[in-house]
Structure 1
């Protein structure tokens, strides 16, 4: 019986590893093809049958995109700077709002607490495109159309519900007795929160920051709708408009897309342990 169970367990483990290997290949193949196309010439990128790796690879497209001396480089770097500003501002403001809001939902009891908490989560039950026209009308009324603040405020409405829910689960798992002990030692509630709760909840805060940054960095539909000024475009919209209006430069487009994906990949690889810990610890109340 033990051997049979062991064989069954080994079969499940083997099947799981095969499935993970398949998913890994399916995930990495688009990135590999993107990188391969980005170092090809225009002729090599359009030839048939395609070749996985060019015979004469070149970094010409990367040099042009990252050089502020060329027109293409100046435009690309402007788009990247806009995306960095919008994503960073969204992340900082999102964390600054989500942390005290989640702490209040976790520690305080007030009338309408549960209704308000679930009302926050209701926002994520609807597709983002449903709110496109109402938000556009509101931003036009506020005079924020064609400014980055329209995107920052919009992205906050997308990221805050999940961020608050995630952090609330983290605060629920932190014993209240730790704060009470700090209060007995003479600390104020704010000092107990800052010195005790914040360090213990750092994985959740980091996960929230990663989520907010990725959401703002990759968003396309609202950036396309709210921004018409070419100097204010973010990377997703800027790349689409630039390469569709001028020429079908596939190596240049793949090089720009690969550069665009690097910050997100590096951010997730460096901080993935905090992200996984936040999802496993913060989403389940002990």
Structure 2
């Protein structure tokens, strides 16, 4: 072992070398991730003729916001369709998120605090669904929704997204509740609070990062989902944004700038939501995975 002295300082070059290698790798990874978004934004600022030029232009000579104004203008058919798809997606994603929180919070708390027969088996049974690809359940869920009369309704998507989102939401929140000292609840109970009051006024405020992380996960999963929305919804007035964009622009295959503008606007709410709440998301992941 090398001992650092005034005459023989410990070399830091290997450590610095690995550090710079890591920075370079992360920079390349960031460029690889951001470049499609940049190209999508640039294409959305082009005209239809400029988008079809070869070799392609990195920056249009005459950038235009016409594609965005056309999508956001409710007086034309394109704007009406896009805004309808947007509000349908927002409604389905928001309702799915609210119901996921309402169900996952008490379920995770029960798994964390209570001991009952079959607790471990039931908890892993909840997680068992995530072992299978989502497409495996497409036909059974479609038959179930048709039997319930929910095909071509947003209720079919909400129930389906809850089926896929709840296991991970419960697991994430359970890990978070496990790290909240039970002594805090016991102290509140000694002071006269009921279990429900202790949960609402002690546990819930402390679990806010975990709840926000669960909400982000549920919202993004519902917002971006395509396969089930494509299968369950055939009416144009019920379509969500991913399906609506695909079906609308498949009839206008040469309108690449319009497609890029619609896709970029679809990605904006998710990116903004994550950037605003990312500190809560990271905190929930770390505190839910590390024992204090």
TM-score category of the 2 structures, normalised to the smaller one: over 0.9
Matches of 2:20 and 2:282, distance apart in 1: 23
For each residue in 1:192-242, what CA deviation from the matched residue of structure 2 results, as whole angstroms up to 9, or x when unmatched?
000000011100000000000000000000000000001000000000000
Which consecutive segments of 4 or more residues in structure 1 shift more than 4 A? 1-5
Q: 1:177 — aligned with what?
A: 183
User: Partner of 1:194: helix, strand, or coil?
Assistant: helix
Q: 2:71 — aligned with what?
A: 65
Q: 1:215 — aligned with what?
A: 221
Report the structure number with the largest CA radius of gyration.
Answer: 2
Structure 2: segments with no counterpart, 5+ residues: none
Q: 1:75 — aligned with what?
A: 81
Change (3 A) 1:38 1:85: same
TM-score by length of 1: 0.98
Matches of 1:79 and 1:189, distance apart in 2: 43
Q: 2:251 — aligned with what?
A: 245
Q: 1:120 — aligned with what?
A: 126
User: Partner of 2:234: helix, strand, or coil?
Assistant: coil
Matches of 2:94 and 2:259, distance apart in 1: 24
Cα shift at 1:5: 5.3
Matches of 1:274 and 1:5, distance apart in 2: 38
Matches of 2:149 and 2:290, distance apart in 1: 42
More displaced 10-residue stretch of structure 1: 254-263 or 239-248: 239-248
Matches of 1:200 and 1:94, distance apart in 2: 19
User: 2:119 aligned with 1:110, yes or no?
Assistant: no
Task: Figure out how many residues of one structure are paired with residues of the other and give that number.
Answer: 286
Matches of 2:30 and 2:253, distance apart in 1: 33
Q: 1:272 — aligned with what?
A: 278
User: 2:209 aligned with 1:231, yes or no?
Assistant: no
Q: 2:162 — aligned with what?
A: 156
Matches of 2:43 and 2:32, distance apart in 1: 17
Q: 1:43 — aligned with what?
A: 49
Cα shift at 1:94: 0.3
Q: 1:99 — aligned with what?
A: 105
Q: 1:19 — aligned with what?
A: 25
User: 2:210 aligned with 1:204, yes or no?
Assistant: yes
Matches of 1:92 and 1:56, distance apart in 2: 44
Change (3 A) 1:5 1:160: farther
